[in-house]
């Protein structure tokens, strides 16, 4: 069915509509063989709180963005190659009463989304799973083994998840370990380590992960002062900081 749709006029038109909704800041999406499988609004669990995002599933990529005007205008486009995606069902989120969730894990970034109903969730998961399977079969590649940690939302930690002592306040800020995703205090995450799939620069890791990583690295430490820390992207998660 996908192959038949691929060159259909309806498919080209739908893709052109998605492109126009993202405007000039979005990437061109129409390439030969690409098919728009489905679209919908999902709740993305962000660092501070859950937010609605518009998602588009193509046969080779997953695209999402912030909703400026529903069905008309989106911005902050993100494109995830499906070949590197693994999905997993996620537990309910009691704090925000979110159900029907699953994890979207990739080597560079992983996060949780929630659908409005169980049916929608299973449709999304089935379609994503099928697209990933088809891509891997075509390319002969193995599924991605490593993926970025899913960040624990700020609200789930009032104290540092490593030392269990430091209480977070306006001054004593929360940080995220890029390796385990825990919310940790500054003193527990002073070191940086290279995680090549996430960044070309060393990124913030907690002391626990740092020790694991350096041990795995043959005990060769990477000193923090070897890098210009101000240039290291720190606090901010992706699309979520500015809105
Ligand atoms: Zn701590
Ligand atoms: Zn860690």
pLDDT digit string (tens) for the chain, length 243 residues: 455 666 689 999 999 999 999 999 999 999 999 999 999 999 999 888 899 999 999 999 999 999 999 999 999 999 999 999 999 999 999 889 999 999 999 999 999 999 999 999 999 999 999 999 999 999 999 887 789 999 999 988 999 999 999 999 999 999 999 999 999 999 999 999 999 999 999 999 999 999 999 998 776 665 544 554 444 444 444 334 333
> What backbone phi and psi angles, to 5 degrees, belong to 41?
-95, 130
Classify residue 166 by its DSSP letter.
Answer: P
- At residue 188, the pLDDT reads 98
- pLDDT of 237 reads 42
The pLDDT assigned to 143 comes to 84
Buried b (16+ CB within 10 A) or exposed e, 149-182: bbbbbbeebeebbbeeebebeeeeebbbbbbbbb
Ligand 2 center to residue 176 CA distance, Å?
8
Q: Give domain limits for the chain.
A: 2-139, 154-228
Domain 154-228: homologous superfamily in CATH: Zinc/RING finger domain, C3HC4 (zinc finger) (3.30.40.10)
Ligand number nearest CA of 195 is 2
Fold (CATH) for 2-139: PH-domain like (2.30.29)
Ligand nearest to the CA of 184: 1
Residue 114: the pLDDT is 98
pTM summary value: 0.84
Å from CA of 76 to ligand 2 middle: 28
**Ligand 1 center–CA 132 separation, angstroms:** 38
Helices within the chain (DSSP H only): 2-6, 9-22, 118-139, 207-216
Distance CA(30)–CA(18), nearest Å, equals: 10
Instruction: Output the CA 150–ligand 1 centroid distance in Å.
Output: 19
Spatial separation of the C-alpha atoms in residues 151 and 61, rounded to whole Å: 22
């Amino acid at each position: 069915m996908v192959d038949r749709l691929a060159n259909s006029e309806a498919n080209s038109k739908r893709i052109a509509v998605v492109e126009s909704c993202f405007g000039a800041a979005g990437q061109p999406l129409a390439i030969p063989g690409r098919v728009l499988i489905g679209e919908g609004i999902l709740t993305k669990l962000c660092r501070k709180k859950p937010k609605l995002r518009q998602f588009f599933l193509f046969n080779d990529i997953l695209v999402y963005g912030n909703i400026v005007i529903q069905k008309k205008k989106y911005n902050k486009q993100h494109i995830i190659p499906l070949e590197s995606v693994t999905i997993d069902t996620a537990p309910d989120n009691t704090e925000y009463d979110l159900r029907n969730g699953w994890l979207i894990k990739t080597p560079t970034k992983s996060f949780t989304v929630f659908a409005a109903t169980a049916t929608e969730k299973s449709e999304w998961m089935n379609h994503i799973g099928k697209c990933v399977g088809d891509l891997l079969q075509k390319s002969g590649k193995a599924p991605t083994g490593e993926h970025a940690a899913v960040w624990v939302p700020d609200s789930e930690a009032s104290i540092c998840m490593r030392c269990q002592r430091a209480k977070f306040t306006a001054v004593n800020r929360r940080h995220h370990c890029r390796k385990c995703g825990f919310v940790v205090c500054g003193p527990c995450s002073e070191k940086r380590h290279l995680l090549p799939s996430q960044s070309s620069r060393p990124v913030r890791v907690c002391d626990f992960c740092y020790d694991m990583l350096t041990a795995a690295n043959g005990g060769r430490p990477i000193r923090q002062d070897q890098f210009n820390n101000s240039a290291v992207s720190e606090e901010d998660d992706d699309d979520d900081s500015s809105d």
